[in-house]
Amino acid sequence: MLQTLYDYFWWERLWLPVNLTWADLEDRDGRVYAKASDLYITLPLALLFLIIRYFFELYVATPLAALLNVKEKTRLRAPPNPTLEHFYLTSGKHPKQAEVELLSRQSGLSGRQVERWFRRRRNQDRPSLLKKFREASWRFTFYLIAFIAGMAVIVDKPWFYDMKKVWEGYPIQSTIPSQYWYYMIELSFYWSLLFSIASDVKRKDFKEQIIHHVATIILISFSWFANYIRAGTLIMALHDSSDYLLESAKMFNYAGWKNTCNNIFIVFAIVFIITRLVILPFWILHCTVVYPLELYPAFFGYYFFNSMMGVLQMLHIFWAYLILRMAHKFITGKQVEDERSDREETESSEGEETTVGGGAKSRALANGHPILNNNHRKND
């Protein structure tokens, strides 16, 4: 049974053009071809990435945060309350008005105190500024190195300048060590992102991020064993070209460097729009959709690859919309925020006053700090 399923899955007519078999891609005469078994190494490499990330965040990102004066906000903690905690964990983090009234009677607190408790409790679960900075630092470092390495792999190749050469001799195209390691490292990194997504900073596009990671892993894997490697290297380098700019903008945002953050963000937005909404659909997708049909009839692998590329392109359009919204706020002089972020709630959001020490009233507090004219920092 399993052998039958295996044979059907690897049926040549699914993944290769007509009149070609896997035997045509066996190593011979010193030429090495991509094989599905090569991808097994990416899982242990993904775990290695997680270990490297842990030590990077501990010994590089944390000291860097201190150097850039990334400061944590002191958050007021919700006082222990079994009734409210049980509702928070089992029924929801945002009780409706009728539920607030019921909880008020059950806990002996006023409705205003119940609302304050839930607000503080939600803030406790939000990631700290240091966690955000360390995560952005790690991704910035990887994307920058990956982009430089990717360009080094493809810049001297003829298909970098002439897209038709991507398919020259396809699929009988041997691989070289630089392509192998570029693929294995990129795929391992995206596996590590998928493994850590539950513990990473969660944003409003959490589901879209999962779809993106899964689609990317499938695309990289398929393009490897179906020998779409030339197109794959172009696509990976194209994606890395803007990602490190976004992560560096986040880092300066968390450090409170408003002007630097905004300037990098504008550069990122321009690069993102050009690469993801112009070059990718009108050059890369044109290359993968049109040129192959000049060489052989369409087959399942052709449709599969381009369908997954279509999924990524839809995500790019979604993120471009968020980026343009942020850019519009920047141009019109409004405070720029990451449209994907879940904003932290403040104690002053409902006009409350908090007292500190001796019962004397102080200025309204925002998460334990007096509210200052501190518009140099934007939230992420």
Question: For 46-62, what is the mean pLDDT?
Answer: 96
Distance CA 313, CA 280 (A): 8
Say if residues 81 and 116 touch (Cβ distance below 8 Å): no
Tokens of 136: 């952005």
User: What pLDDT sits at residue 367?
Assistant: 34
Examine the pLDDT at 255 and tell me if it is beyond 60.
yes
Which segments of the chain does DSSP mark as H helices, in order? 2-9, 12-15, 42-56, 62-67, 82-90, 97-107, 111-125, 129-154, 177-196, 206-225, 229-254, 258-274, 285-289, 300-331
User: What pLDDT sits at residue 135?
Assistant: 93
Q: Quick one: pLDDT band at residue 361, thresholds 50, 70, 90?
A: very low
Examine the pLDDT at 372 and tell me if it is beyond 70.
no
Of the ranges 86-90, 122-126, 166-170, the best mean pLDDT one: 166-170
Residues of the chain with pLDDT > 70, as a percent, come to 86
Distance CA 193, CA 207 (A): 13
Q: Is residue 281 reached through a cis peptide bond, with omega within 30 degrees of 0 on the bond before it?
A: no
Residues 6+ positions from 146 with CB-CB distance below 8 Å: 185, 186, 189, 236, 240
How many CB atoms are closer than 10 A to CB 151?
Answer: 15
Examine the pLDDT at 345 and tell me if it is beyond 80.
no
Q: Quick one: pLDDT band at residue 48, thresholds 50, 70, 90?
A: very high
Examine the pLDDT at 358 and tell me if it is beyond 80.
no
Say if residues 82 and 121 touch (Cβ distance below 8 Å): no
How many CB atoms are closer than 10 A to CB 55?
Answer: 10
Distance CA 28, CA 340 (A): 50
Examine the pLDDT at 350 and tell me if it is beyond 70.
no
Exposed / middle / buried, residue 107 (Cβ in 10 Å: 0-12, 13-18, 19+): middle
Type of residue at 126? R
Torsion of CA 92, 97, 98, 101, to 10 degrees: 100
Find the angle CA(344)-CA(273)-CA(268) to the nearest 5 degrees: 55
Q: Can you spell out the DSSP letters for 18-87? A: TT--GGGGS-BTTB----GGGGGGHHHHHHHHHHHHHHHIIIIIHHHHHHTT--PPPPPPPPP-HHHHHH
Q: What distance lies between CA 152 and its chain's CA centroid? A: 24
DSSP letter, residue 264: H
Closest CA to 242 of 211, 260, 269, 220: 269
Which residue would you say has higher pLDDT here, 343 or 354?
343
Q: Tell me, yes or no, if the pTM score tops 0.75.
A: yes
Architecture of domain 82-125: Orthogonal Bundle (1.10)
Q: What are the tens digits of pLDDT across the range 128-137?
A: 889 899 999 9
Query: What phi and psi, each to the nearest 5 degrees, are found at residue 43?
Result: -70, -50
Examine the pLDDT at 244 and tell me if it is beyond 50.
yes
Residues 6+ positions from 80 with CB-CB distance below 8 Å: none
Distance CA 243, CA 264 (A): 12
Q: Quick one: pLDDT band at residue 333, thresholds 50, 70, 90?
A: low
Examine the pLDDT at 113 and tell me if it is beyond 50.
yes
Which residue would you say has higher pLDDT here, 201 or 43?
43
Domain residue ranges in the chain: 29-68+127-332, 82-125
The chain-wide mean pLDDT, for the chain, equals 83
User: What pLDDT sits at residue 205?
Assistant: 64
Q: What distance lies between CA 166 and its chain's CA centroid? A: 28
- As beta bridge partners, residue 31 has 28
User: What pLDDT sits at residue 351?
Assistant: 38
DSSP letter, residue 362: -
Question: For 179-196, what is the mean pLDDT?
Answer: 95
Three-class secondary structure of residue 355 per DSSP:
strand
Exposed / middle / buried, residue 207 (Cβ in 10 Å: 0-12, 13-18, 19+): exposed
Examine the pLDDT at 96 and tell me if it is beyond 70.
yes
Q: Quick one: pLDDT band at residue 353, thresholds 50, 70, 90?
A: very low
Question: For 101-111, what is the mean pLDDT?
Answer: 87
Q: Quick one: pLDDT band at residue 337, thresholds 50, 70, 90?
A: low
Task: Write the Ramachandran bin of 60: left for phi over 0, alpha for psi from -120 to 50, otherwise beta.
Answer: alpha
Question: For 269-291, what is the mean pLDDT?
Answer: 94
Examine the pLDDT at 148 and tell me if it is beyond 60.
yes
